[in-house]
């Protein structure tokens, strides 16, 4: 399975278009007419925040597809309670839609189809079955709960609306939530014709929305979302086998690690000192330590969402909380969190458009998480 990688240091439309041309999507989509583009539109964030797929990338893909005669719709279901019209406007998707006369679709509309794995049921937007193929336009970022987010995690947006937050409530621990992500991927993977990752300006640190933009200067692409993530996460400095949804997703694709092909010049490449979450040490401590050490570790290893002075009292975090343990009262500087019931899913942190929520860490957590 090939993973294409090309160095593109800024959002130069012509260079991005040339990269798209090299993928030969005309051959892959030869018998497919109606195409759904699924970018990462987590919330109403402007492109410079590096939270969402950059509109120049979307523009280049749409232009290419129009040039080869495809009919295109563009859609997503943003997290939490974000208003879709604000998301279209802030992320630059409105401008793309008007330029190319294409439809923007909200996955909260259009119906759902329920699909099951052995242990989970998913309500998935009907749009992916109403088109001939889906192209996954993902963003290269760290993730406070799952450590890394790219192609596979972007498909979580195929679940409409607030149902996404319910899975956080039902599966708060990252290992269990990884089963949700890989389970969903096993259902929808055959609908995804291609995966294109915007890694020109990605995110490090407190991703997926409150981290720091970083110029990784790459575009990546593959037929397989799992193979793309395996390579991209490794380049970021993660051990892919520690990211618990990537290997199961590779298994769904029937791909072995040694079957992934990348350009020779990118063999063993690592970006320099990316601010990533060091989950490996945390997992090893919990897995191999005696119970008494595990108990001590759990007591002193603590992290939770908290507020800084950027809060605008917009109430998005309150509405996005799957446990409904946040409340904004008149006169309060910011919402109050009931930490006894908080499951630390970080949905509030993820959805805050003002970077007003950060992850407060104990001394030990600061050592384990960076």
Is the pLDDT assigned to residue 132 strictly greater than 90?
yes
Helix (H, G, I), strand (E, B) or coil at 244: coil
> CA 288, 293, 295, 299: dihedral to nearest 10 degrees?
-120
pLDDT at 174: 75
Q: Are 342 and 335 in contact (CB under 8 A)?
A: no
- Compute the average pLDDT of residues 7-11: 98
Which of left, alpha, beta for 172 (phi over 0: left; psi -120 to 50: alpha)?
Answer: alpha
Structure tokens at 47: 């492109």
Burial of residue 268, with CB atoms counted within 10 A of its CB: 0-12 exposed, 13-18 middle, 19 or more buried:
exposed
Domains 3-266 and 279-368 share a fold: no
Q: How confident is the model at residue 282 (pLDDT cuts 50, 70, 90)?
A: low
β-partners of residue 134 are 36, 192
pLDDT at 57: 98
pLDDT, tens only, 46-73: 999 999 999 999 999 999 999 999 999 9
Q: Is the pTM of this model over 0.85?
A: no
Nearest Cα residue to 180 out of 171, 189, 193, 169: 171
- Tell me the CATH number for domain 3-266: 3.40.50.11440
pLDDT at 280: 44
- Tell me the CATH number for domain 279-368: 3.30.70.20
Q: What's the chain's average pLDDT?
A: 90
> Which DSSP state fits 223?
S
For every residue of 67-115, DSSP letters joined together read HTT-EEEEEE--STT--HHHHHHHHTHHHHHHHHT-EEEETTSS-EEEE
Q: What angle do CA 125, 63, 134 make, to 5 degrees?
A: 25
pLDDT at 140: 98
Of 78-82, 83-87, 224-228, the one with minimum mean pLDDT is 78-82
Q: Are 140 and 198 in contact (CB under 8 A)?
A: yes
Q: Are 321 and 353 in contact (CB under 8 A)?
A: no
Residue spans of the domains in the chain: they are 3-266, 279-368
Is the pLDDT assigned to residue 211 strictly greater than 80?
yes
Nearest Cα residue to 249 out of 317, 161, 154, 335: 154
């Amino acid at each position: 399975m090939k993973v294409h990688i090309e160095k593109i240091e800024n959002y130069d439309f012509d260079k991005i278009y040339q990269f798209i041309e090299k993928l030969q999507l005309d051959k892959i989509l030869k018998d497919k007419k109606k195409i759904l583009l699924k970018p990462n539109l987590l919330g109403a964030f402007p492109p410079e925040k590096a939270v969402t797929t950059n509109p120049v990338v979307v523009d280049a893909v749409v232009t290419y597809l129009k040039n080869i005669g495809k009919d295109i719709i563009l859609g997503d279901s943003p997290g939490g309670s974000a208003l879709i019209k604000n998301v279209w406007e802030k992320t630059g998707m409105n401008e793309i839609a008007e330029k190319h006369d294409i439809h923007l679709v909200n996955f909260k509309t259009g119906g759902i189809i329920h699909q099951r794995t052995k242990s989970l049921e998913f309500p998935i937007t009907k749009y992916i079955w109403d088109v001939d193929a889906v192209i996954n336009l993902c963003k290269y970022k760290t993730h406070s709960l799952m450590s890394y987010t790219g192609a596979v995690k972007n498909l979580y947006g195929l679940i409409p609306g607030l149902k996404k937050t319910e899975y956080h409530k039902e599966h708060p621990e990252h290992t269990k939530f990884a089963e949700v992500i890989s389970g969903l991927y096993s259902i929808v993977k055959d609908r995804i014709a291609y995966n294109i990752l915007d890694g020109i300006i990605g995110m490090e640190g407190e991703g997926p929305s409150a981290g720091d933009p970083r110029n990784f200067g790459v575009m990546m692409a593959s037929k397989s979302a799992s193979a793309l993530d395996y390579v991209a996460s490794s380049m970021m400095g993660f051990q892919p086998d520690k990211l618990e949804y990537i290997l199961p997703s590779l298994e769904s694709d029937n791909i072995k690690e040694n079957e992934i092909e990348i350009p020779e010049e990118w063999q063993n490449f690592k970006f320099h000192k990316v601010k990533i979450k060091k989950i490996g040490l945390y997992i090893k401590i919990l897995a191999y330590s005696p119970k008494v050490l595990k108990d001590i570790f759990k007591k002193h290893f603590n992290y939770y969402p908290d507020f800084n002075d950027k809060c605008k009292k917009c109430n998005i975090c309150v509405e996005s909380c799957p446990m409904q343990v946040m409340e904004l009262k008149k006169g309060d500087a910011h919402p109050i969190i009931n930490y006894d019931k908080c499951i630390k899913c970080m949905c509030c942190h993820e959805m805050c458009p003002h970077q007003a929520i950060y992850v407060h860490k104990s001394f030990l957590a600061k050592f384990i998480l960076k």
